[in-house]
Amino acid sequence: MKTTLRTIATAAVATLAAVTPAFAAPTYTDNSGLLVWSFLGFCAVIVVAQVLPAVMMMVGMVKGVATEGTEVRARN
């Protein structure tokens, strides 16, 4: 137990030591205007509008396969 905790602590320290320089980087200023963010938002709406029906169809197919298997078992 003690060696496991020591191994986890060593791995955490090594990971944090490697990540620390990322926090020292200068801040980035975003010069994108309202038009750019509006375009990206519109693209996100299109993606969501395409994904929702696909997910609903997949759920319906899974339900159909699951109920079909129980109906066949009930007949026999």
pTM: 0.44
Handedness of CA 7, 12, 13, 17 (dihedral sign): positive
- Name the more confident of 35 and 31: 35
Which 8-state DSSP code applies to residue 29?
P
- Please give the Cα distance from 41 to 39 (Å, whole number): 5
- Reported confidence tier of residue 38, pLDDT bands at 50, 70, 90: very high
What's the chain's average pLDDT? Answer: 80
